[in-house]
Structure 1
């Protein structure tokens, strides 16, 4: 939209910078002696062109993310929000996902994430309780965070669940889905791979990984995952529909039409539009 302060194009251009910044911040933390997965809190800054945008963002971050508003002030012709995060366990992946999620939430409120920092260092001694009995607690925290669209916290809590019980394929799969929500497709792929290695008949993981590969333009690889998903469950219309789309990308129009017809026969009425458009 023309009247936005922080445009979609600007957000896309800044996204790689946020990925690099998160890695740099974590490297500085560990370089100062910060122990991996210790708890830390961060001062976080957003900027916008109007005070009311930051007020709405601050209210959202307080209600959903448990953040504390420190100030909203005008500086150099623009407005700045300073807010404080709750403590969370920090490693490179957690920090990246936390920061990218905040950048996305800022964009959704037409505000720009302008930086973050922490005083946590070598003297950080606070850690989460990772006793086996806490596994269900962290998994449920992750699910609740996901339901609230707090995808950074979802990733963090799924990661803690994985640290407690790394053999649980569902934790890896669920964390992958949260990473997809914050546009970290390559990171999600790694988690889908791990889920499948732990549970070779995890059909939902094959389906999601196939979509991930298709979106990355890896159509042949996506086709293999769709084939495996169909081998595991031959009655899912969405898998046939998606495989048809992938076959179309590969130039196999006859194969695509066959899959869309199968999807429709299995009750996937959404395939009718494809059949009408491409399979007359």
Structure 2
């Protein structure tokens, strides 16, 4: 068994606790006068049993986030690093996603998110200017953050874009993708729902929502989404391949091997070579 400071079991067991703690921290900040989207710098501390873990984590954060990080230091039998974020627009959801982002990054480098907090003056609060910048500005910032690996920064900006333009389906779709990467699949599903509610024929959202449903046991719901794609006109070939292939997977999960094989074979006939493995394994 791998010798880790933070095991996968520890990570999964602590996930819900981190969400609850973030909720408590935000509630206390609200009681102190914080208003939604107040631009706030958060300080944070990671710990690990190995210096190299924190050195690697520090290098990663410096490269992918606009944060400042101090030198790794030893405290008794443990190593720690401290840092500070850039200004982030704090809301209940934003704080939670920032915490989950840091919690996830810590785990990836076998370190634990040990503490965090944010100081603000309730009498002097600054906010993002939603009048000067259009939704496209924050959407582009959200995509840029995502491409850099700053997942929470992506959500901050995409959420601001939605505040400005709550009817833009691409923003909901993009935020759903990021939320799912932070293991909040139910919240991701809600964003896909909103995108599809606005644009019922949004092919990529239907396929992604179907995949998310399948991954979480809603096989019949996944089948409905894939079938909806296949009923649409002018669907591009790659989407058809994916819809047939995924439909086959969900049919297999529903113990319908015959329909599963038929859909994989259809995907293969459209050029989806990746369906061959499924066919050779399940369709003998």
TM-score norm. by structure 1 comes to: 0.96
**Structure 1 residue aligned with 2:148:** 148
Task: Look up the SS of the partner of 1:269 in the other structure.
Answer: coil
Aligned runs of 1:18-97 on 2, under 5 Å? 18-97=18-97
**Structure 1 residue aligned with 2:266:** 262
**Structure 2 residue aligned with 1:136:** 136
Aligned pair 1:99/2:99, yes or no? yes
1:238 to 236, 239, 242: 242
Q: Which moved more, 1:152-161 or 1:129-138?
A: 129-138
Q: Which moved more, 1:151-160 or 1:124-133?
A: 124-133
**Structure 2 residue aligned with 1:224:** 224
Task: Look up the SS of the partner of 1:80 in the other structure.
Answer: strand
2:275 to 255, 267, 271: 271
Question: How much has 1:106 moved relative to structure 2?
Answer: 0.9
- Unpaired segments of 5 or more residues in structure 1? none
Question: How much has 1:52 moved relative to structure 2?
Answer: 2.2
Contact kept? 1:219, 1:250, Cα under 8 Å: yes
Question: How much has 1:59 moved relative to structure 2?
Answer: 2.1
Task: Look up the SS of the partner of 1:125 in the other structure.
Answer: coil
- Counterpart-to-counterpart distance in 2, 1:201 and 1:89: 33
Task: Look up the SS of the partner of 1:204 in the other structure.
Answer: helix
- Unpaired segments of 5 or more residues in structure 2? none
Contact kept? 1:32, 1:121, Cα under 8 Å: no
Taking structure 1 as reference, are residues 177 and 132 closer, same or farther at Cα in structure 2, changes over 3 Å only?
farther
Task: Look up the SS of the partner of 1:208 in the other structure.
Answer: helix
- Counterpart-to-counterpart distance in 2, 1:61 and 1:11: 19
Q: Which moved more, 1:2-11 or 1:102-111?
A: 2-11
**Structure 2 residue aligned with 1:181:** 181
Q: Which consecutive aligned stretches of 4+ in structure 1 deviate over 3 angstroms post-superposition?
A: none
Task: Look up the SS of the partner of 1:192 in the other structure.
Answer: helix
- Counterpart-to-counterpart distance in 1, 2:209 and 2:250: 13
**Structure 2 residue aligned with 1:108:** 108
Question: How much has 1:234 moved relative to structure 2?
Answer: 7.6
Task: Look up the SS of the partner of 1:136 in the other structure.
Answer: helix
Contact kept? 1:158, 1:171, Cα under 8 Å: yes
Question: How much has 1:124 moved relative to structure 2?
Answer: 4.5
- Counterpart-to-counterpart distance in 2, 1:269 and 1:275: 10
Contact kept? 1:35, 1:124, Cα under 8 Å: no
RMSD, matched Cα: 1.4
Question: How much has 1:97 moved relative to structure 2?
Answer: 1.2
- Counterpart-to-counterpart distance in 2, 1:185 and 1:44: 26
Question: How much has 1:135 moved relative to structure 2?
Answer: 2.2
Contact kept? 1:39, 1:124, Cα under 8 Å: no
Task: Look up the SS of the partner of 1:34 in the other structure.
Answer: coil
The aligned length equals 280
- Counterpart-to-counterpart distance in 2, 1:234 and 1:136: 26
Taking structure 1 as reference, are residues 248 and 34 closer, same or farther at Cα in structure 2, changes over 3 Å only?
same
TM-score norm. by structure 2 comes to: 0.94
**Structure 1 residue aligned with 2:7:** 7
**Structure 1 residue aligned with 2:255:** 251
